[in-house]
Chains A and B, each alone.
Chain A
Amino acid sequence: MEGRPARGNARRLWLAGIGIGACAVALAVYAQLGSSTDRMASKTNDAPYYPYDSSHRWWDPGSGRTLAAYEEYETPNGALGIVNTAGPIDTRGHPFFEPVGTNGRACVTCHQPSDGMSLSVATIQQRWRETQGKDPLFAAIDGKNCPHLPQGEEASHSLLLERGLFRIFLPWPPRAADGTPIEPEFTIEVVRDPTGCNTHPEYGLNSAEPTISVYRRPRVAANLRYVIAGGSLFNIKDGSPMDKDPETGRPVSMQLMADARTPTLKTQALDAAQGHLQIAHALTNDQLEQIRSFELQIYSAMSRHRLAGDLNGPNTPTALGPDAMANGQPGLGDNFRNPVFGNFDAWRKPQPGETPEQREFRESVIRGHDVFFVRPFWIRDVTHLNTVGLGNPIKRSCATCHNAVLTGMDLAPGWMDLGTVTLPWARVANDPFAGERPWAHAFDMSTAGHGAETDPADDRLAELPLFKLTCKPSAMPHPYLGREIYTTDPGRALITGRCRDIGAITIQQMRGLAARAPYFSNGAARTLEELVEYYDRRFDAQYSEQEKRDLVNFLSVL
């Protein structure tokens, strides 16, 4: 077993500031841990470390535990670190941790520290086993494929159990911030409804309150100082007015949520409390402020890798580890003066005491970073990227879109139709382009749609609803999919009603990935390998096997 990671500035500052009492709290938390791994970790570190077999790995709502200034959680290949820059928090009474709604959930239910403040499907499955499906996590409102299905049966919760997806239910047609309906540019037909929710008389599109249900992964409630940074008057990508903070009137980054439907952390908390927590009364402003403050003091990233060693603290690449997140500044990367993920100079030369295995892995990570940063390929048919004036296709690298320092998000509003939720690219099984060059094929959406509808072997796609969206003649069509689009999630278009926003999903941050599989908003990539394979297929990047492995290794240490 390796020693504890060297911890960086954020934690040292806390230790200097809080004194003995708080240290005692942290030690008390640590003392609750019982496994042998715990005890070994305690030899070199007093910060809580939660291995897989720790009974305290899962944060129950209302547990009243203390969140330490620095905590670590075991992951398949190492550990994830959580930095809490405000020092230890007594979570008793804290609205992020208390079950403030009616269904027993808290924010922390779906934003678990062990999973980088998101929720992995492995954790969801473990919770199902431990509680026989009775945890509030599996609440009928959205922890089930549709509320009308039998509670507690695995099949009713299959999207959550197998893909980590929660039901997101949105009004149709969409409503503006003031509640007035938006006239959409397209019509929606339900082509396939495996969950029964979109055709259900109470919950569906033809119900008294027409609602569309899509299924998405919970996003990361950490590193949010970066996510909310920026904001201009108009969207740099299409000139549309940017949303404003209702309290300050200032434009916001529009990077929260897969569809950017809420402008601020407070409005997001309000929205989540009403939907996911089924709160009876709206959160008070004090509670909202507590949640906002908390979310801005939490940072997560991988802190240790079994092959690479320590990722946090001195003598590690500048962008790795949660301390780098806590100490960094948001901004636009994408050049050599301020690269998105810093520099890897600390690993470029062999280090004293480094094992051959460690050297080999670190070199692979560096190569993966370089592939991410400079290896060009044709980026094509991505709305809100190829449409913004850069041309279609554009020969660039991953860092073109993943350009925000330390998070790898897009600094401009990051919703794009990458194809993960729109046909034909959303296909996973029975890929019609498998082994071929996709550019050799003209799109035929009618064929693509019918193929998905009737192909029983297309299991992973068939788990999700399929919608046919038809753009009205008066509207501009989707730039790359035309006027008839088949999608499992219309994405941003469910908020704006615009054809050009169909399938557009906000880019996720790239930190702590190894702790929170699966990936993409619909959980389509079960592993980092599948994630890289998707990009290789989608963009015909023609990565070599070595490049794919290097990319995976790079992603695994972020």
Chain B
Amino acid sequence: MSAQTRRFAVVASVLIAAGGAGEALADGQPAPKPGERKSFVACPMVRNTYVPCWLAEHEGELYYLGVQGDLNAEFYPPQLGHKALIEGTVSDGPRICGGIVLEPVHVSVLPELTPSCNTILPDEGHASPPYHRTPGPSNSEREERADRGPDLPSRPPAEGVTFVVPFEFDVGERLYSRDSRIVTMAARYARDVGASRIKVTGYTGGALLSSGELLKERAVIGELRARNIETMLRHAGISADALEVEWREAEAPDGIDDHLTRRAEIVVMP
């Protein structure tokens, strides 16, 4: 990210310090090492613990992705019936639900159906992972939604203030609520500061898998993302005259934070 440009992504990236020695797996694959980045496409699995936990298998190893929560949670689980693109960093912490913990982890549901992704694992004695919401109704006050966002300058700098809107892999339209809130935030900011120009850029990205395979999004995705954000901003009261909309290929995926290639950017200019 550019030092001159302020960017805001909702999902915090916290790298877990590497450590611990790996062991060889039964099939000869080297055991994953803490700090190692993993990027793979797999069928997600859900374990039937009290609060379900989500896992995925890759090269004979089981990885823990996260626990069922709600829309305030940082982790949004994948979906049975679909493969998922999983990008994460091997943690040195203890296994959860039988899986090596990937943290941070980014999970993207692939749009096409894969009916064979249909595994609900028994709990097999595993305890529920840490959770803030039970399977039933919430037992606490609803958390204040974090939609106020970071402190923003009262006047955008000359290069503008950039809001990054993440998208799932190969998805140009649908946005999770946490991500559509970024658009709301950008529109509100643009109005508050009386922005003269708002630049929207939709990117077509991809992912470099651990296997070396490059997973590319459809070429049209960048345009779809840009058009979608344009529609949302106009719906939020931004004048069409103030909008500049373009789309392009993102930087080449390199296996590191590739989820950020699958995005749109809103730059609010002074």
Contacts and interface: CB of A to CB of B under 8 A. Distances in A.
B120 to A, nearest CB: 7
A480 B235 contact: no
Contacts of A191: none
Contacts of A24: none
B70 interface: yes
A401 to B, nearest CB: 12
Contacts of B136: 373-376, 396-397, 399
A376 B116 CA distance: 25
B22 interface: no
Contacts of A104: none
B179 interface: yes
B111 interface: yes
B175 interface: yes
A234 B184 contact: yes
26 contacts: A233-B235, A234-B235, A237-B177, A239-B173, A241-B231, A334-B138, A335-B138, A335-B140, A336-B139, A337-B141, A373-B137, A389-B76, A390-B71, A393-B46, A393-B52, A394-B52, A395-B51, A396-B135, A399-B136, A474-B220, A476-B173, A477-B113, A479-B79, A479-B111, A480-B81, A500-B174
A337 B140 CA distance: 8
Given A239-B180, A334-B138, A388-B177, A395 B68 contact: yes
A374 B134 CA distance: 10
A239 B235 CA distance: 11
Interface in B128-183: 135-142, 171, 173-180, 183
Contact of A334 (B118, B137, B173): B137
A442 B77 CA distance: 21
Contacts of A500: 174
Nearest to A444: B115
Nearest to A391: B77
Interface stretch (A59-67, A261-269, A379-387, A516-524): A379-387
Interface string B213-239: 000000010000000100110011000
Contacts of B51: 395
A402 B267 CA distance: 39
B209 interface: no
A236 interface: yes
B86 interface: no
Interface of A: 233-241, 332-337, 339, 373-376, 378, 380-381, 386-397, 399, 439, 442-443, 474, 476-477, 479-482, 500
Contacts of B236: 233
B183 A439 contact: no
B116 A239 contact: no
A392 B82 CA distance: 9
Given A386-B79, A390-B77, A391-B46, A336 B137 contact: yes
B183 A234 contact: yes
A378 B68 CA distance: 12
A234 B142 contact: no
A474 B69 CA distance: 32
Q: By DSSP majority rule, is chain A's interface helix, strand, loop, or mixed?
A: loop
A392 B232 contact: no
A124 to B, nearest CB: 37
A376 B135 contact: yes
Chain B interface mostly: loop
A239 B174 contact: yes
B174 A395 contact: no
A380 B80 contact: yes
B78 interface: yes
B247 interface: no
B181 to A, nearest CB: 8
A244 to B, nearest CB: 8
A399 B120 CA distance: 23
Given A241-B232, A373-B137, A476 B111 contact: yes
Contacts of A394: 52, 68, 77
Contacts of A381: 81
Contact of B174 (A238, A337, A391, A474): A238
B54 interface: yes
A233 B120 contact: no
A469 to B, nearest CB: 15
- Of B46, B80, B137, B220, most buried by chain A (CB within 10 Å of CB) is B137
B79 A374 contact: no
B112 interface: yes
Contacts of B54: 391
Contacts of B111: 476-477, 479
A396 B62 CA distance: 25
A239 B181 CA distance: 9
A78 B176 CA distance: 45
Contact of A374 (B71, B81, B137, B176): B137
B135 A395 contact: yes
B79 A442 contact: no
A389 B68 contact: no
A335 B141 CA distance: 8
A392 B138 contact: no
Contact of A392 (B80, B141, B183, B228): B80
A454 B194 CA distance: 63
A116 B181 CA distance: 38
B217 to A, nearest CB: 13
Nearest to A337: B141
A238 B175 contact: yes
Contact of B175 (A239, A335, A375, A386): A239
Given A234-B183, A376-B136, 16 more contacts: A234-B184, A239-B173, A239-B175, A335-B139, A373-B137, A381-B81, A390-B68, A390-B70, A391-B76, A392-B77, A393-B46, A393-B52, A395-B48, A439-B118, A476-B171, A500-B174
A253 to B, nearest CB: 16
A378 B177 contact: no
Interface in B28-75: 46, 48, 51-52, 54, 68-71
A389 B177 contact: yes
Contacts of A235: 180
B235 A339 contact: no
